[in-house]
Amino acid sequence: MNDNENNSFDWSQKSVLVTGGTGSFGKKFVELLLREHPPKRLIVFSRDELKQDEMRQIFPDDLLSDRTPMRYFIGDVRDVDRLRRAMNGVDVVVHAAALKQVPTCEYNPIEAVMTNVMGARNVIEAAIDAKVSRTIAISTDKAVNPVNLYGATKLVAEKLFVHANVYSGYGPSHFSCVRYGNVVGSRGSVIPLFLKQRANGKLTLTDPRMTRFWLTLEQGVRLVIKCITRMRGGEVFVPKIPSMKMSDLASAIAPGCIQECVGIRPGEKIHEILISEDESHNVVDQGDMFVVKPSMVGLYNGYVENGPKLKRGFKYSSDTNDIWLDAEGILRLVDSH
């Protein structure tokens, strides 16, 4: 898709719904979209009435007029009927609702499946029924070669979204995913923990060798907004983002503090992967990001994506990344949080 096609996407004529809209991603997405690409209507769909009320103080709605595009829907992605009602007249859906804490998903596996897998299915069913044009799901590096339940559920959700284009057929609904790494400032980030532990002079590290992909919340939101305008259906967008050693992060946040190694928690990896060696043959390089193409091209409305293919055996891993954050870059990232 060329730049002219991207620029022709008119947000002012679009009704947009974001699931999990009161979460870290949802709030930043609403903030940026309202400021830079004001849509015709912007619906926050989430379970928590208190969080919606708090968000309403910042981004007010006015049900008696069209002075603001904001709308708030109480609902759960486990409830497909409520999703269908919420998506009535919607053009774009961003699916950000998920249970994402690794220990929580390990301890509550069925709940994780109900929200992350069945919830993804419900979003797809409702979007097809409501004839939503573009639906994009937020995925994670933990979905690649998963070793924990959270990653496994997100892998299934990815597959559901990619192959949802088969169910949509030649209808108006298209589905894609964005897959990226750890987000600075999101709930559950290790940075607030390190900042809290700094006062005691001791930081807990699971393993000094551990590396992770990182990006800011704003970078993640801007990426999703860009991918919505570029998506055709069936692709997984993977940004080129920097890696960081967790020991370097700890040293930058709390220089001089003791770093105590406590061992890897259940479901953790030493290094994360954004593109596996097994899928790299189906990936093209678009400069600012990689695009994992759908494997069954004939079922995706003649999908064609331009760009050079990756070398055989390529793996996009946090320990072999070409882009690394130095101490100054780490501190800038922390300051942004």
Is 27 noted as a catalytic residue in this protein? Answer: no
Instruction: Enter the tokens of residue 111.
Output: 């709940």
Of 14, 142, 154, 245, which one is the catalytic site residue? 142
Distance CA 287, CA 200 (A): 43
On the CB side of 196, CA atoms within 13 Å amount to 6
Distance CA 335, CA 137 (A): 28
**8 Å CB contact between 101 and 188:** yes
Radius of gyration of the chain (CA): 20
**8 Å CB contact between 181 and 143:** no
CA distances from 137 to 19, 143, 234, 281 (A): 10, 13, 11, 23
**8 Å CB contact between 180 and 140:** yes
Instruction: Enter the tokens of residue 317.
Output: 């891993």
Close Cβ partners of 153 (under 8 Å, ≥ 6 residues apart):
98, 99, 105, 112, 113, 116, 117
Residues annotated as catalytic (active site), given as ranges: 142
